[in-house]
Structure 1
Amino acid sequence: MGRKSTRNTIVETGLQVMFQSGYVGTSVRDIVAAAGVPQGCFTNHFRSKEQFTSEVLQHYFDNLKALIQDTLGDATLSPRDRLRRYLDAITSRLEDAHWRRGCLIGDLSLEAPGHSELLRHRLGEIFLEWRAPFAECIAAAQAQGEIDTQFAPDDLAEFLLSSWLGSILRMKVERNPEPLERFKRIAFATVFATKSQGEKV
């Protein structure tokens, strides 16, 4: 296996620094110090902090898309169970971080739009791409009678992702999984319930 490139090292390190300090609280000096590289390495690879953060976002989203494929793309499960499996897989990842780390997309959505139009637009593009596989899975669940058809798949996908990100924010404050589990209990007993479902909230 070849050595990891300096560029990749800076991106992966920057991801961890931004998780800890946020977009505004992270400086280029913080990133290169954590990566153990001269500041000139950063400027050789990235035009600006904005461009760097856009690449960090893409790196994070690429990893997230792999998880989406593993869960929503699992043909051995029903579409509705695939949605639950995705949320459970994210919960497991957050547990590994002791409930201290959230979702970088959500974190940057709170901070970056007030400071960067480039990142605001990039986040908008990511949300559209992120929504698509969830809408497709929800549509399949509706076609199989697993989820009520009162709402359009795109709207339900938007609701799921937005509400889930809100639950992750609460989780970071409370430092426990209850906000995540509460969302799953209520969502799957209401908007993602089957017509004949007997689950209780």
Structure 2
Amino acid sequence: MPKPSLRDAILDAGLKEMFRTGYHGTSVRDVTTAAGAPQGSFTNHFRSKELFASEVLDRYFTYVRGLVAEALGDISLPPRERLRRYLDLITGKLAHDGFTRGCLIGDFSLEASGTSEMLREQLDEIFREWRAPFAACIAEAQAKREIASDFDPDELADFLLASWQGAMLRMKVERSAAALERFKTIAFQTVFKELP
């Protein structure tokens, strides 16, 4: 009888370890130890740490897509409120982790995009896909005259995601929600200000 695959356990462990110690700080040994797997099982499933990290990133983005759908897909709320709901949902998850973890996509963007062209290209594709539902929600808010139409929805979506990533970096340094709340307050009183 064949042994059960440890692939999912290794990917789960990799996600936790890379959140904890980063792309460069995580070794194959760290991952297999955390997964309770022999080191050889890593190489049975993954040809390199870079390819493994790519799958970890895909797994994480699948989770993020679910959060985006949960917040932005709730059409019982006006579009402007859906944007705020996403940020509040993420703030709650970050608080649950004691403000020690941010976003793996942002972390990889800082750490891995300069050393891995493959991961940089993957991150670029992720940001493009991630932007689309935010741009659609912003366009809907503009069409309903909830917010100003001074800027293109794609540009506003990029601004929102990039600025939010910056707020999360500051949050990790401060170990508090202050940077996140400051961003939400300023963004929703300026760029995403409700029209009278």
Distance 1:141 1:118 in 2: 35
Runs of 5+ unmatched residues, structure 1: 197-201
SS in 2 for 1:47: coil
Distance 1:69 1:9 in 2: 26
Instruction: Determine if the alignment matches structure 1 residue 39 to structure 2 residue 35.
Output: no
* Equivalent position of 1:98 in the other structure: 98
The one-letter code matched in structure 2 to 1:96 is: H
Q: Once the 2 structures are TM-superposed, how far is the Cα of residue 103 of structure 1 from its aligned partner?
A: 0.3
SS in 1 for 2:128: helix
Distance 1:162 1:113 in 2: 15
Q: Which residues in structure 2 correspond to 1:1-201 (within 5 Å)?
A: 5-196=5-196
Q: Once the 2 structures are TM-superposed, how far is the Cα of residue 83 of structure 1 from its aligned partner?
A: 0.3
Runs of 5+ unmatched residues, structure 2: none
Cα offsets for 1:88-116 (capped at 9, x unmatched): 00000001100001100000000101211
Cα offsets for 1:144-201 (capped at 9, x unmatched): 00110000000000000000000000000000000000000000000001232xxxxx
Distance 2:195 2:85 in 1: 21
Name the TM-score, length of structure 1 as normaliser: 0.94
Distance 1:99 1:178 in 2: 10
Cα offsets for 1:11-66 (capped at 9, x unmatched): 11101100111111111111101111011111111111011000000100001101
SS in 2 for 1:114: coil
The one-letter code matched in structure 1 to 2:28 is: V
Distance 1:132 1:5 in 2: 35
Aligned CA RMSD, in angstroms, stands at: 0.9
SS in 1 for 2:25: coil
The one-letter code matched in structure 2 to 1:94 is: L
The alignment-based identity, stated in percent, is: 61
Name the TM-score, length of structure 2 as normaliser: 0.97
SS in 2 for 1:71: helix
Cα offsets for 1:106-156 (capped at 9, x unmatched): 000001012111100000000000000000000000000011000000000
The one-letter code matched in structure 2 to 1:136 is: A
Distance 2:194 2:111 in 1: 37
SS in 1 for 2:123: helix
Q: Once the 2 structures are TM-superposed, how far is the Cα of residue 5 of structure 1 from its aligned partner?
A: 4.9
